[in-house]
Structure 1
């Protein structure tokens, strides 16, 4: 199991819509997240900085393959057509990165 964290900006004028979308995540998206070996997925909002922080546990053996499966799924692409316009990537993101991945520096069970 690998814990992962990531951060992205959210457009201030889109916060209410983003919250509304995530209050009723489509069942197909929840199933896909589980199918791609992601567990305990949580997104936090930090205002007034307008940052989203996501954290999850990855329980698979091939993260790249699972993320490719997720990205290729037509229902997920439709979901992203609603969520991505709410977000704004950080200026420091790596090439091809939307959410900026974070380094875990501390954990306590």
Structure 2
């Protein structure tokens, strides 16, 4: 049987990448995030996400599960809540959603 290759969660977009490609993805993802954030209306702009600290297990090895959880939580903090329905979105998608949202939270 083939063992699944380990993946790493991007703290910016929340997607999973292989351990070899995450180092290429993160700088590009952060650059894209900055451009998109700068193009948003001022009230939707967010603080730049910060990469979580490395978490180690009792054996001194990187705790992949804890790292994935920390990256996912950081990603969720970049989302913006719709004031009408309470759902969360990337800010550029919130603008589109709000045009059609009719539900009250």
TM-score, with length taken from structure 1: 0.34
Point out the structure with the larger strand share: 1
TM-score, with length taken from structure 2: 0.34
> Higher relative contact order at CA 8 Å, sep ≥6: structure 1 or structure 2?
1
